[in-house]
Every structure is written in C-alpha cells, then in structure tokens.
C-alpha cells in the first residue's frame, strides 16, 4: 500500500503513538502517564490514540511485548558460537562483551525497571516479557553450551543452569547498580572487565 494512502497514514500514526508511549511511560511510569501525554508527544488527537488502542493498559502491553522482537538478534549471536577448541575462550569473550553491552543499554534498563515496577499490577505481562525475551536467550545459550559439551569443549551437566551462571556473572553488578541508582552506572571499560572475569570464572568451572 502506498505511503500516501489512508492505510499508510494509519500505520505511521500507529508507530508514532507507540514511540511516544514508550518515551512517556519510561519518563513518567505507568501510573504517571496519561493518554493526553501520549497524544501530545505523538502529535495526534486523543481520539486517534483511542482509535488505535482501546485503553492505556493495552497500549502499555503492546509497547512492552514489541520489544521482545529485538531479542532475535541476541539469539542469533548466542547460537552462532563456533565449536573451535583453540578459540573457545576468545569466542566466549566476544559473546560476553556483546551480550553485556546489549543488555545494559539505557533503554533496555529503563524498560526492565518499568516492567518490574508494574509486575504486581500486570503479572501476566511481566511473565510474557520474560518468557518471550530473556528466557528465550537463556534457552538458546543452554542449547549452545550443550553443543559445546557434546564436542568435549565444556563439561556441563545442567546446560540451563550453566547459561544462568554465565549471564548472571556478567549482569549482576551493572544491572543491579542501574536498578537502584535509576540509570547506568558503568563505563565501557568496566563492562569489558566484567566480561573478561565472567568468562575466566565460567571456564574455570566448566572447561
């Protein structure tokens, strides 16, 4: 459909509303956000917002679940570790640095905080975001570790637990600091250090 046709305009407005809602929810939280705020930032009428989304809850759910699509690139990254014994540490280190950098981006941390803050109000939404997002990454990482174990590159009895150990060592410090301080508290050099040490400890336990 051409961009100048009604359907094209509708799609652009839908996207504008989604982007505006994401910005406002992250800035003001769910309770502090109104449909008026979203309409103003999206440069549309409040009636237009309601035409696309029946209520604030449905809009919130859509912007949260839309972010799980971004996980696909992370899954491709995790699944792509080659079974090269000579380069195992190098490959895991590259993965760790990219994994850590991606999951500590300011918008990712903001979204995580927003979902956690509303987990009691929308438990199903929080569970869906976790299951369709981070849990998929962990499952892929577990399958990758099992593949490496099958090639005798790692010694792993519980691949999913190993995946949690790997990600936990990388994310524990920077993510917890960000959650309590309200934003990223790390430098890239610190992230690289967490990645280096995480891989070193992981291999000491599992190689």
Q: What is the pLDDT of residues 190-199, one digit of tens each?
A: 999 999 999 9
Task: Give the pLDDT score at 151.
Answer: 93
What does the pLDDT average to over 58-62?
Answer: 91
pLDDT band of residue 111 (cuts 50, 70, 90) is confident
Does 204 have pLDDT greater than 60? yes
Residue 7's pLDDT is 62
Q: Over range 25-50, report the average pLDDT.
A: 92
Report the distance separating Cα 22 and Cα 59, nearest Å: 9
Q: What is the pLDDT of residue 182?
A: 74
Strongest mean pLDDT among 11-20, 60-69, 189-198: 189-198
Report pTM: 0.81
Least confident residue range of 49-53, 80-84, 124-128, 159-163 = 80-84
Residue 6's pLDDT band, with cuts at 50, 70 and 90, is low
Q: Minimum mean pLDDT among 16-30, 116-130, 157-171, 178-192: which range? A: 178-192
Q: What is the mean pLDDT of residues 80-86?
A: 85
């Amino acid at each position: 459909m051409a961009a100048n046709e009604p359907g094209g305009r509708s799609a652009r407005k839908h996207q504008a509303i989604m982007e505006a809602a994401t910005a406002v929810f992250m800035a003001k939280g769910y309770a502090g956000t109104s449909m008026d705020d979203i309409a103003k930032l999206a440069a549309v009428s409040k009636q237009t917002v309601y035409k696309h989304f029946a209520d604030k809850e449905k809009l919130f759910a859509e912007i949260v679940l839309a972010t799980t699509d971004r996980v696909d690139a992370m899954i491709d990254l995790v699944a792509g570790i080659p079974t090269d014994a000579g380069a195992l540490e190098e490959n895991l280190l590259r993965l760790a640095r990219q994994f850590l950098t991606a999951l500590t981006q300011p918008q990712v941390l903001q979204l995580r905080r927003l979902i956690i803050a509303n987990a009691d109000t929308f438990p199903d939404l929080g569970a869906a975001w976790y299951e369709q997002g981070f849990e998929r990454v962990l499952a892929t990482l577990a399958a990758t570790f099992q593949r490496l174990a099958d090639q005798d590159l790692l010694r792993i009895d519980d691949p999913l637990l190993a995946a949690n150990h790997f990600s936990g060592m990388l994310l524990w410090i920077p993510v917890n600091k960000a959650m309590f301080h309200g934003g990223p508290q790390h430098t890239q050099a610190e992230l690289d250090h967490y990645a280096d040490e995480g891989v070193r400890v992981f291999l000491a336990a599992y190689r």
